[in-house]
Structure 1
Amino acid sequence: MLKSREELISLQKKAKAALDQEKMRILVCAGTGCVANGSLKVYASLKKLIAEKGLLAEVNLVEEVSHEGIGVNISGCHGFCQMGPLVRFEPSGLLYCKVQESDCEEIIEASVANDSVVERLLYVNPTTGESVKTQDEIPFYKRQQRVTLKDCGRIDPDDINDYIAHGGYQAIAKILFELKPEDVVKEVLDSGLRGRGGGGFPTGRKWSFAASQPGPKKYVICNGDEGDPGAFMDRSVMEGNPHSVLEGMMIAGFAIGADEGYIYARAEYPLAIKRMRKAIADAEALGVLGQGVLGTDFNFKINIKEGAGAFVCGEETALIASIEGERGMPRPRPPFPAVKGLWACPTIINNVETLANLSAIILNGANWFKGFGTPSSAGTKTFALAGQIQNTGLVEVPMGMTLREIVFDIGGGLREGKKYKSVQIGGPSGGCLTEDKLDLPLDYDELLKVGAMIGSGGLVVMGDDTCMVETAKFFMGFVQNESCGKCVPCREGTKQLLALLTKITEGKGTESDLDLLAELAQNVKDGSLCGLGKTAPNPVLTTLRYFRDEYLAHVRDKKCPAGACQALKEYYIVPEKCKGCTVCSRVCPADAITGDKKQPHVINVDLCLKCGACMEKCKFGSIIIR
């Protein structure tokens, strides 16, 4: 057990020296996505094959090793999820994509025994058609600036000594032996760090509120209840670098005078929870967490609370209620949690990404952190790229980078030749950004000006075949299901908004419904109790604002311009293309297609069920949607 800062520094040097014994390190991504695709089998096979050749370096990071060798380790998420399982070689930076267990012998023969590469496992740039050998050369990684995710693909998340070898727990040591609580609050305030989980409230200001409160008991809560569709930033940090979260919580605890914390993580994140539990146990055993941290009088205990998956528990007061054993429902504010939070004690709540930034800020200083981003939104932000985009995955970029750079330079543009239409940013709480917003800097204040928000950082990219009314309906259906029901505006308002959107997508809407939709959305926004209800109408309001023509087509012409709304699809047979083969009429379950053999057929739209069976079976492309 470490009982001083000097012992921690000594352990770091010893662990770093042990790592230096590895002449090559093979890192197999063990994030959820890669694990689901078989990466642990790849890891086991590589380790076995290298051991059979007598080349494996079984590195114990706290003891001397007898010989140089090749290290094989798991790591956290590398970010490029669609290309997983990923295997990276250090120090060369060689990256293999979509690796399977059957590829391992070839990998060992080429890249371990003969210093060559397996060409078919390299990333191929879809623009140039060229194979790319190293991670840093891949466009997906080139424009990124990793701070939070810096070690997620470099260290073994299950090995505390690997974290220490890369500078882990040096930040908590620095504040325990060099700084006062008020110094830490000031440093974080000066850094400009804003909450990465939603509204972007200044982290240092929140801490100052809690620090000024009297009382012997205070709490720090890590909000890991990441519930936005398509978002997995916090999950990846907890899976890939759990100790950075623990260290961040201790820094926060020291700053406000707290001796206990809770990690609130959704139960749908079993791998993240497993690694967080191990990290807590290992940190306590080593003396960098728990009673008398590093021989000082600072005590800090961390508990894990598994949430049941309620989206509303991402809201601070609902999360607190859940930890207390109550139903996860929001409470009126004020008092705010910093004054009266968990069990009526002063409490600060920061999300995973916010906490994971803290050690770097303490070690490098506020000015270093402000060197990234914009004057009003300092630092970097992680985004989860999803939807109709070439490169899906997790990216970290400086705040203020434009949407165009993220979607086209990092994301590679839209796949299958689709034309960009919109990006839904911030999940159900966010809004849609149209083509004319592609050069908008992505920071907190700029997005608010256009009716959107960064939220937790989900980016769902949509092409020209996406119906924006249907998109608004999807997100409204999500928040309506997740509404806790405590306040009338959210409980009933979201239900009526969903009913109106459903009516419109079924071709039964009127122009007056659009006015009612806008009025009701604003009322829900103004009257709801918590952030869920107040932001739930954002997708409706932004799509009404930027895609009103599409709404009008649904209510005036009873057409869906994107051809996505099932009820508004009209199947049509192009006479010039129809060969009269009768296949379509034979598969039609409603007998809606008629015509003589070898003559153009016709679809009776009144009988058509719009099932699409005819289009699927037609070999001549003669059936279209109009």
Structure 2
Amino acid sequence: MKIVVGQGSCGIASGAKKAEAKFKKYIEENNLNAEVTISGCIGSCYLEPIVDVIDENGALIRYVHLTSDKVERVVREHLIGGKPVEEYLIPESGRYFLEKQTRIALKNCGIINPENIEDYVSAGGYQALKKALFEMDGDQICREIEKSGLRGRGGGGFPTGKKWVQVKSQKEPVKYIVCNGDEGDPGAFMDRSVMEGDPHKMLEGMIIAGIATGAQVGYIYVRAEYPLAVHRLQVAIAQAEKAGYLGEDILNSGFNFSIRINLGAGAFVCGEGSALTASIEGNRGMPRVKPPRTVEQGLFGKPTVLNNVETFAHVSYIILNGAEGYRKIGIEKSPGTKAFALTGNVNNTGLIEVPMGTPLRTVIFDIGGGVRNGKSFKAVQIGGPSGGCLTEKHLDMSLDFDSLTKAGAMIGSGGLVVMDEDTCMVSIAKFFMNFTEHESCGKCVPCREGTHVMNEILDDIVNGRGSIDQIDLLLDLADTITNTALCGLGKTAASPVVSTIREFKDEYEAHVIDKYCPTGSCQGLKRIVIDADKCKGCSKCQTVCPVNAITGERKKPYLINLATCIKCKRCIDSCPFKAIVEN
């Protein structure tokens, strides 16, 4: 019998390590023939800690929310008594969450032990590497990746095969493979889950890219805020070297390839290719003017393949199943699958992977289980700070690169933040603009100054200081920044603002004209009022008001001058009749 305790970052944060320790303790005390092992996150983050009990015949029983205090009962009733504990089992919605997905990049996540190379090999790992080494040459590999239609999963969706061909064609003998694991979008954790749950799949893709292009050195740029991912990558690299899949003379083929890890310091701008390579070189992570492109002069001025974690995780599937096998999944111009981090006001939060072209409605209402607490769906922010806002009219839209671009949004790295009827879209725009302003590297004026000015305007609007002309000013600034900024961060910085104005202009107008937030979310627009029916005219509120905003006569209802009120709430605290409220 095998006990598999899910230990991605989400599982560990929910108490999975304590649950693992309890299983080991009770199994030893009861002298049971059971092995306790770990896996990465299977994606159902909202159900963690998740524990699988697998019997000698391979039958699997999955427990959810299995904190350490529940382990003793599972051991007693299931492992010893043979009867699963029904109330701890995964609910139907949890099974449906996984069954509606199609997994390539995440196929092994939550299934294998990411710190055991034998688990990966048993799941078919490194077979694609063997095929690439002994049955194909660089041209054939590049051609297969190009025919597959694989597009980069980290942002704009550039054709991966085209990038590899460009690097292979460079006459420079020294080339590099760089994996971008600097996942900085708020609410995004696709790459982290692959690195934590199935690191060898990414390594295998990088090695194949090296064979294809003639590169012999690879770099993984991963943020230091991902310590578990870094640890498991280190373990995986050491194991792959020991097993002969990495290093000198791989599998006696004569091909050499080494991989090094570089830690990023949390700068969002280092997700941009030239800023990332500058950081690896030991310089400040700042974008440069292009051309030359990274495929011509990238890391250390040499031709460089730069793809993200998820992109490399698709490579082995394509090599083993062929381009045609890959193209059977997804749609014509966007083949394959895409992983999304589903977060926000949705019932089933976590990591999912679906075929390209899957409707947004399927993701949110079928897999995600709909909006929390019976609220109405309002919008979804896709692609993080670089993306845009989609609304109810977009629910049946195909989730693919081209459809989203036409709608004024983008897939980006794959963050999906669901918002309900109580969400203020102006505040959402300000949140992302504030993030972008602080993450700007400051190299170019449009991004450095433009994002700051836009953030100040949004601050005015959410605090009741805005004016109607500022809405048009935001759009003008957005157009200028988009067309003149140096890199992708600046060029897409205004997308959340533009899309929310386009879809929810009435909310902006309510903020600047009526000085009112329709959702009641903006604290700066809260109104403190006196209910005349409850007010007894005791004058206590007037006495404590520091700005003399309250007027009236004793034993008659008092009034608050909203223009003078500073919302200190002293009046609310002083009223013995609960007649003063904030709305």
**Length-normalised TM-score, structure 2:** 0.94
Matched, 1:44 2:26: no
Matched, 1:437 2:394: yes
Matched, 1:402 2:359: yes
Q: Which residue type is aligned with residue 158 of structure 2? A: F
Please tell me whether the aligned partners of residues 529 and 581 of structure 2 are also in contact (alpha carbons under 8 angstroms).
yes
Matched, 1:472 2:429: yes
Alignment of structure 1 residues 153-302 onto 2, 5 Å: 153-302=110-259
In structure 2, relative to structure 1, the CA distance for the partners of 1:513 and 1:142 (3 Å cut) is same
Q: Which residue type is aligned with residue 51 of structure 2? A: V
CA distance in 2, matches of 1:580, 1:384: 53
Question: How many residue pairs are counted as aligned between the two chains?
Answer: 579
CA distance in 1, matches of 2:348, 2:131: 39
CA distance in 2, matches of 1:600, 1:148: 66
Which digits, 9 at most, give the CA deviation of each residue in 1:342-374, with x for residues without a partner?
111110100000001111111112122111111
Alignment of structure 1 residues 350-389 onto 2, 5 Å: 350-389=307-346
What SS does structure 1 have at the residue aligned with 2:201?
helix
Alignment of structure 1 residues 144-159 onto 2, 5 Å: 144-159=101-116
Structure 1 portions without partners, runs of 5+: 1-23, 57-69, 124-130
In structure 2, relative to structure 1, the CA distance for the partners of 1:606 and 1:160 (3 Å cut) is same
Q: Which moved more, 1:405-414 or 1:593-602?
A: 593-602
Q: Which residue type is aligned with residue 7 of structure 2? A: A
CA distance in 1, matches of 2:214, 2:304: 10
Structure 2 portions without partners, runs of 5+: none
CA distance in 1, matches of 2:284, 2:197: 31
In structure 2, relative to structure 1, the CA distance for the partners of 1:232 and 1:601 (3 Å cut) is farther
CA distance in 2, matches of 1:587, 1:379: 68
Please tell me whether the aligned partners of residues 176 and 218 of structure 2 are also in contact (alpha carbons under 8 angstroms).
yes
Which digits, 9 at most, give the CA deviation of each residue in 1:406-461, with x for residues without a partner?
11111111112221111000000000001111111110000000110000000111
Matched, 1:96 2:60: no
| Offset at residue 72 of structure 1 (A) | 1.8
What SS does structure 2 have at the residue aligned with 1:365?
helix
Q: Give the equivalent residue in structure 2 for 1:61.
A: none
Q: Give the equivalent residue in structure 2 for 1:550.
A: 507
In structure 2, relative to structure 1, the CA distance for the partners of 1:496 and 1:579 (3 Å cut) is closer
| Offset at residue 54 of structure 1 (A) | 2.9
What SS does structure 1 have at the residue aligned with 2:334?
coil
CA distance in 1, matches of 2:159, 2:577: 60
Please tell me whether the aligned partners of residues 587 and 613 of structure 1 are also in contact (alpha carbons under 8 angstroms).
no
Please tell me whether the aligned partners of residues 541 and 574 of structure 2 are also in contact (alpha carbons under 8 angstroms).
no
Q: Give the equivalent residue in structure 2 for 1:330.
A: 287
Which digits, 9 at most, give the CA deviation of each residue in 1:211-246, with x for residues without a partner?
111122100000000000000110010000111111
CA distance in 2, matches of 1:528, 1:441: 30
CA distance in 2, matches of 1:581, 1:197: 62
Which digits, 9 at most, give the CA deviation of each residue in 1:241-272, with x for residues without a partner?
11111111001111111000000000000010
What SS does structure 2 have at the residue aligned with 1:305?
strand
Matched, 1:121 2:85: no
What SS does structure 2 have at the residue aligned with 1:263?
strand
What SS does structure 2 have at the residue aligned with 1:88?
strand
| Offset at residue 290 of structure 1 (A) | 0.3
Please tell me whether the aligned partners of residues 29 and 75 of structure 1 are also in contact (alpha carbons under 8 angstroms).
yes
CA distance in 1, matches of 2:433, 2:440: 10
Determine which of 485, 490, 514 is the counterpart of 2:447: 490
Q: Give the equivalent residue in structure 2 for 1:303.
A: 260
Identity %, equivalent residues: 53
Alignment of structure 1 residues 23-42 onto 2, 5 Å: 24-42=1-19
CA distance in 1, matches of 2:543, 2:398: 51
Q: Which residue type is aligned with residue 261 of structure 2? A: I
CA distance in 1, matches of 2:75, 2:428: 47
Please tell me whether the aligned partners of residues 580 and 596 of structure 1 are also in contact (alpha carbons under 8 angstroms).
no
| Offset at residue 594 of structure 1 (A) | 9.2
CA distance in 1, matches of 2:486, 2:155: 16
In structure 2, relative to structure 1, the CA distance for the partners of 1:395 and 1:594 (3 Å cut) is farther
Q: Give the equivalent residue in structure 2 for 1:3.
A: none
CA distance in 1, matches of 2:517, 2:51: 44
| Offset at residue 277 of structure 1 (A) | 0.6
What SS does structure 2 have at the residue aligned with 1:557?
coil
Please tell me whether the aligned partners of residues 580 and 595 of structure 1 are also in contact (alpha carbons under 8 angstroms).
no
Q: Which residue type is aligned with residue 13 of structure 2? A: A
Matched, 1:76 2:40: yes
**Length-normalised TM-score, structure 1:** 0.87
In structure 2, relative to structure 1, the CA distance for the partners of 1:296 and 1:434 (3 Å cut) is same
Please tell me whether the aligned partners of residues 585 and 592 of structure 1 are also in contact (alpha carbons under 8 angstroms).
no
| Offset at residue 291 of structure 1 (A) | 0.3
Instruction: Tell me the C-alpha RMSD between the 2 structures.
Output: 2.6
What SS does structure 1 have at the residue aligned with 2:331?
coil
Q: Which residue type is aligned with residue 434 of structure 2? A: G
Which digits, 9 at most, give the CA deviation of each residue in 1:113-164, with x for residues without a partner?
23322233234xxxxxxx54xx8x6232221111111101111111111111
CA distance in 2, matches of 1:363, 1:585: 75
| Offset at residue 381 of structure 1 (A) | 0.7
CA distance in 2, matches of 1:575, 1:588: 19
In structure 2, relative to structure 1, the CA distance for the partners of 1:104 and 1:614 (3 Å cut) is farther
| Offset at residue 48 of structure 1 (A) | 2.7
Q: Give the equivalent residue in structure 2 for 1:14.
A: none
